[in-house]
Amino acid sequence: MLKEFREFALKGNMIDLAVGVIIGGAFGTIVTSLVNDVIMPAVGMLLGKVDFKDLFAVLGEGATVKGPYDSLKAAQDAGAVTLNYGQFINTIINFLIVAFAIFFVIRAMNRMKREAPAEPEAPATPSEEVVLLTEIRDALKAK
Domains in the chain, number: 1
Q: Outline where the chain has alpha helix (H).
A: 2-9, 12-33, 40-46, 72-77, 85-115, 128-142
Percent of the chain with pLDDT over 70: 92
Range of the domain at 96: 2-50+84-116
SS3 126: coil
Residue 16 covered by a domain: yes
Residue 138 covered by a domain: no
Residue 112 covered by a domain: yes
Residue 12, pLDDT score: 63
Residue 130 covered by a domain: no
Residue 60: strand pairing partners: 81
Residue 101 covered by a domain: yes
Q: Which residues contact 110 (CB under 8 A, 6 or more apart)?
A: none
Q: How far is the C-alpha of 8 from the C-alpha of 16, rounded, in Å?
A: 13
Q: How far is the C-alpha of 4 from the C-alpha of 14, rounded, in Å?
A: 14
**pTM (global) more than 0.75:** no
Q: How far is the C-alpha of 90 from the C-alpha of 102, rounded, in Å?
A: 18
Tens digits of per-residue pLDDT, 78-137? 888 889 888 888 888 888 888 888 888 888 888 887 776 666 676 778 888 888 888 889
Residue 73 covered by a domain: no
